[in-house]
Amino acid sequence: MAFKFDKDKMKYLTNPDDYKSNWEWTKSNSNYHFDKNTVDGEGETFRVCGTFHGDWKEELKQVIKDSKPVTWATRGKKGERKDKFIEQEEYDLTSAGASADLEVSNFNRNCEKYTKINEIAEYFKLENFQKRIHVQTTGQVWNLHIDKLYQFNPEDPSKVVRITIMLNDWEPGQFYMYGNRMYERWKAGEIHIFDWPNTPHSTANTSYVPRVSLQLTGTRTEDTDAILNERDHYYSVE
């Protein structure tokens, strides 16, 4: 399961109060190389772990319809985030000349309403996990960042995993980057994980098709590991 950069660092190494920029603070906590001339190899920063087969197109239409735009400040559930982080995240945007209200994606937080998609979410036997559907529409950009997921299991953050399942096919004009390697050409149902404590990543949609992905974040169990290790396994959702 190990990624190239995850080593054994599973805690914050520096104090966020010493930083104005969230990007700089999260960088100071990462083992990633941050060298654009070092090309990241396959499987070093993210890994494709299998594919779901099935037809959830009808549910997807409703998922898209029911999704709402979010910014960095509004992406969390109320009270979930420390204001300090949002201040730093907005500082990064405005210092670069962008708006603090940049729309990063649309969210649909009601995964349980969609039977087939929820079946996919439950498949991984995660514990204490968050289900969130991202619908990135034309023009939305999730600027470069490193995730802060330690709070999903403060006692043992090494157990935290973020699993992404693409719910529709890749389209030209959809960009998804981990480290300096592009993730692309996926088909609906493809599953991937990434080295969340270390790997900078970003997404953008310049196509005319909403990019829909299911994001699961929580504590992995032995069952989760077994499922994720079966790279070429196919799962069926009827």
Which among 192, 205, 224 is positioned nearest to 44, based on CA atoms? 192
Taking the least distance from each CB to Fe ion, the nearer of 66 and 147 is 147
Question: What is the nearest approach in angstroms of Fe ion to the Cβ of residue 219?
Answer: 18
Taking the least distance from each CB to Fe ion, the nearer of 147 and 225 is 147
Taking the least distance from each CB to Fe ion, the nearer of 142 and 235 is 142
- Span from 62-70, 84-92, 146-154, 176-184 in contact with Fe ion (CB under 5 A): 146-154
Distance CA 4, CA 123 (A): 27
Q: Is 150 in the site for Fe ion (CB under 5 A)?
A: no
- Span from 66-74, 129-137, 147-155, 226-234 in contact with Fe ion (CB under 5 A): 147-155
How are the residues of the chain apportioned to helix, strand and coil, as percentages rounded to the nearest 5?
Answer: 25, 30, 45
Question: What is the nearest approach in angstroms of Fe ion to the Cβ of residue 215?
Answer: 9
Write the CA distances from 103 to 72, 135, 141, 204, 208, integer angstroms. 8, 11, 7, 11, 16
Q: Is 141 in the site for Fe ion (CB under 5 A)?
A: no
Question: What is the nearest approach in angstroms of Fe ion to the Cβ of residue 145?
Answer: 6
- Span from 59-67, 109-117, 121-129, 141-149 in contact with Fe ion (CB under 5 A): 141-149
Greatest CA separation for the chain: 51
Binding-site size for Fe ion (CB under 5 A) equals 1
Structure tokens at 50: 């299998």
- Span from 92-100, 133-141, 143-151, 183-191 in contact with Fe ion (CB under 5 A): 143-151
Taking the least distance from each CB to Fe ion, the nearer of 116 and 163 is 163
Q: Indicate which single residue of 147, 169, 171, 225 sits in contact with Fe ion (rule: CB under 5 A).
A: 147
Structure tokens at 149: 């997921």
- Cβ-based neighbour number of residue 194 at 10 Å: 20
User: Across 3-113, where does the E strand assignment appear?
Assistant: 46-54, 68-70, 105-108
For helices 57-65 and 115-122, angle between their N-to-C axes, nearest 10 degrees: 100
Taking the least distance from each CB to Fe ion, the nearer of 24 and 147 is 147
Residues in contact with Fe ion by CB under 5 A are 147
